[in-house]
Every structure is written in structure tokens, then in C-alpha cells.
Amino acid sequence: DQQVKQNSPSLSVQEGRISILNCDYTNSMFDYFLWYKKYPAEGPTFLISISSIKDKNEDGRFTVFLNKSAKHLSLHIVPSQPGDSAVYFCAASEASGGSYIPTFGRGTSLIVHP
Amino acid sequence: DAMVIQNPRYQVTQFGKPVTLSCSQTLNHNVMYWYQQKSSQAPKLLFHYYDKDFNNEADTPDNFQSRRPNTSFCFLDIRSPGLGDTAMYLCATSEGSEAFFGQGTRLTVV
């Protein structure tokens, strides 16, 4: 019973174009959302996050959009670069006993072609 | 500047032979987690510590145990590994809402 779903296992984009990675969640108690990036043979690294009180957060080329009513978030990368090629994990969390425990999606493998 | 360090990076163990994976952190975070990630699946939380308070996920097999002797170190013990325990094991720490991950230990049970 996946609470965080990334329905696209892979995405292929041309360099310079926009990459849009999507994520859906089912638990309405989630109040913090994160995107992690993972290269082969490395652990996930934090990319960008958004609180449930916002609908957009931007950091350079990366923007995350949150639609709470649809329980949907997306990560936009503009412009995409070959170095962005990696697996992107969506994660959602709720406060539990003073800590936030991330629940992850399966990931989307992004390939950016030169 | 490694902040969350997992050892070993790769581990091969025999079916049924106990194995221990280790994780250390230099961040002094009070929360430490262990996740299991099988191929093409989402990382699955096994358990986490909030300081010394241990929290086990309901569906974590009894075969998996954990120890946190101090703030910096956390261990994952698999008492009798089965072939289905072959996976990447990820350790993470957090102080707030962002988790910091180690590079993972790829465990293969043969």
C-alpha cells in the first residue's frame, strides 16, 4: 500500500528543455514534502522541499509545486542539463514524536540527452 | 567531508550467517534511520531512533535488529539473512525535516 507514488519509472529529456517529475500521495496527514536525487552507487541527497502551507518553492533551476487538494506535487527542472541525469525520489513526511519520518516513492530515472 | 558514513559499502554473506552493518554520523543529529531498498522499489523504513528511543516499523521482520550505543553510531544486525534480504541498506540522520543519507551498504545474500 504505497502512500507515495511516482508512476513514471523513467523520463527522457533533451538538454535545455524542461523536465517535469510527478508525485502523488494518499496520506492527508503529510505536511512536508521533499525531493531527493540519487546517483548510482551513492546515497540520496536532498534537493528541494516544500511545506504544506506553500504551493511553490524555487531554488535556482529547481521548482517544486504542491497541489494539496489533488495530493500531487511536481518537480520542474529548467533548463535540464546532462548532469541532472539521476534517479529522483519524492518523499513525504509528517511530524511524529518530534521528528519527521520520510516515506519515499519508487523514484523516477531522469535521463537528459546532450 | 563525509557526514553519514556507512560500512562496509558492499557485503556478501551466506544464507543464515549473521551480519552487521554500521553507520556513523558527524552531524550530532538526534534521529537516525535505517531503510531497506530493493531493486526498483521505494526505500522502506525499517526502524528509527529518536535519541535513544527505538521505533520499530510494524512490518519489519524480527530477523532485523538495531543498536544505537551512542549519538554517533547505529548498527543494523540481521540475525539469519535470507535470500530475500539482498538489498541496499541506507542509513540516514536528521535534526528537523531534512534527512541526510549515507552512501549505503549493498548486501548480497548467497
Q: Residue A98's pLDDT band (boundaries 50, 70, 90)?
A: low
C-alpha cell at B79: 540475525
B70: left (phi over 0), alpha (psi -120 to 50) or beta: beta
pLDDT at site B58: 87
Helix, strand, or coil (residue B18): coil
Set of chain A residues whose Cβ sits within 8 Å of the Cβ of B7: none
- Sign of the dihedral through C-alpha A47, A76, A7, A85: negative
- Distance of residue A34 Cα from the nearest chain B Cα, in angstroms: 8
pLDDT, tens digit (0-9, with 9 covering 90-100), for B24-61 = 999 999 999 999 999 889 999 999 999 999 999 889 99
pLDDT at A96 over 80: no
- Distance of residue A91 Cα from the nearest chain B Cα, in angstroms: 10
- Cα distance between residue B89 and residue B52, in whole Å: 21
- Sign of the dihedral through C-alpha A25, B95, B52, B35: positive
Of A106, A92, A56, A91, which is closest to residue A76 (Cα–Cα)? A56
Find out whether B52 and B68 touch, Cβ atoms under 8 Å: yes
